[in-house]
Chains A and B, each alone.
Chain A
Amino acid sequence: MTRTPELWRPKFHQPLIAIGSILFLALLWQLIAAHEASPLLPTPMKVLEVLWQESVSGRLPHHLGMTLARLIVSFLISMILGTAMGIALGRTPRLDQFFSTWLVIALNIPALVTIILCYVWFGLGEFAAILAVVINKLPQVIVTVREGARHLRQDLLEMAEVYRFGTFNTLRHVLWPQLFPYIMTAGRTGLALIWKIILVVELLGRSNGMGYQLHLFFQTFDVASILAYSLAFIFIVQLMEWTILVPLDLKAQRWRR
């Protein structure tokens, strides 16, 4: 008797299962919404209709674009700064001892507090908005990358020194591949965290973006629009995962057996 090889079975079935489960969820939603027949729980078709109208009118792309721009800028700033600081702390025990209490404090400040303080101190502007997101995200990146920098393989660093790799090659071929999984973890959790915080930032102090729009819809109890905007956002974030993060991960992991 032949059996299906273990390796390709999940690969083949996974997309089918995912599509099936999404369709099932939509069906469930449709049934409940039809039963309730209330504007507070629109049907999936109604939401898709709003999504279409908002896209065509240009409102959704504009606000989504603003939020994405803020997301990308604050993500890049916190990743670059956090990685550099994480490496510095992970490789210099004295520095780490000194700043670790700062990190503990930073990790425990509620997001809302930093957002409010940034707006109070720096005004209701773009700078304060980005800064608030970065401050919320940065400690997490530092802590994750620091963990990676602490566990760098000394034996490979010695090898690189004996064979005179030089600073650039040591960074690129010895350090970077070891730090990469940690940076990816920081990036993944970071993206999830940032896009939740960024909506609050927009809600409190900006006049455009997803957070601002959701706030408007909340005031008119426009649930269909809230769901339409959320769907668009979920889709974009997943798209980033599939087109950027997953391929990066696969490329970096190909040396593993």
Chain B
Amino acid sequence: MTALRIQHLHKDHGRGPVIADLNLTVESGEFVCLLGPSGCGKTTLLQLIAGLDRHYSGDIEIHQRDPKVLRIGYAFQEPRLLPWRTIRDNLRLALPPGMDPNKINRFIDTVGLKEVADQFPQTLSVGMNRRVSLVRAFAIDPDLLLMDEPLVSLDAPTARRLRTWLVTLWEERPHTVLFVTHDLREAIEIADRILFLSASPLEVLADIPVAIKREHRNPEAIESFTAHLKSRYPSLNGLL
């Protein structure tokens, strides 16, 4: 089943097109990475999909299980938690109406946030805030999960730890994910499929499945896959 279908998407901020005739589809339960240079319009694309910006032409179709409400989980680059609400309240407030609030308490326990649930975001580390932001995106049981470089500007060990944790979280709750990054190794490690994007106007240059089993994605395998990409797709050199 198709979770997201984008057809002939066109977006213009007034200084020439940012996105020109973009077409892409994401299957239900798929983890897709969008890889492109900084400033190529990836964040703009996610905002259009999330409905935060409705000034575009073309079609964005998202399959929603509940006909009344579309649920989109969005992990922003910055965690965007309400600093004046506790972690638990931050998560609870994001739940769609009708969802059992007790669900959040069980969820908090299973993802390792139990110790910090009643603290305020500012008392926690940057990494922990990112974690909460990701948990919030998963907690609403979304039709589509958008992640905009949620691990950027973390120190390398924290980012690695969070990436592993994120993949586990996703494997337990296999939602459809659109994950924006500019880090090829990160993309190879977590994605089912990588879409290589060009700078403005944003276009899909290549659509490449990561044909390595998840449990075999160690640094060597990632390295050899990168080398394979370089020889197979010389036109992508700028991105590799």
Contact = CB atoms under 8 A, between A and B. Distances in A.
Interface of A: 155-156, 158-159, 161-166, 169, 173-174, 177, 252, 254-257
B82 A163 contact: no
Interface of B: 47, 50-52, 69, 72, 74, 76, 78, 80, 82-85, 89, 93-94, 96-97, 120, 122-123, 136, 140
Contact of A174 (B72, B78, B82, B96): B82
18 contacts: A155-B76, A156-B82, A158-B47, A158-B80, A161-B52, A162-B74, A163-B74, A163-B140, A164-B69, A166-B97, A173-B89, A174-B82, A177-B82, A252-B84, A255-B84, A255-B85, A255-B120, A257-B123
A164 B78 contact: no
Chain A interface SS verdict (over half): helix
Most buried by B among A156, A162, A169: A162
Nearest to B69: A164
Given A164-B96, A169-B93, A256-B122, A159 B76 contact: yes
Contact of B80 (A156, A166, A177, A254): A156
Nearest to B74: A162
Contacts of A252: 84
A254 B179 CA distance: 35
Contacts of A159: 74, 76, 80
A117 B84 CA distance: 45
A107 to B, nearest CB: 31
Contact of B84 (A158, A164, A177): A177
Counting chain A CB atoms within 10 Å of each CB, the highest count among B82, B83, B96, B140 belongs to B82
A173 B93 contact: yes
Of B84, B96, B122, B123, most buried by chain A (CB within 10 Å of CB) is: B84
A254 B85 CA distance: 10
A158 B52 contact: yes
Contacts of B51: 161-162
Contacts of B78: 155
Contact of B93 (A155, A158, A165, A177): A165
A165 B120 CA distance: 19
A161 B94 CA distance: 10
Nearest to B80: A159
Contact of B72 (A162, A173, A254, A257): A162
Of B50, B94, B120, chain A has the most CB atoms within 10 Å of the CB of: B94
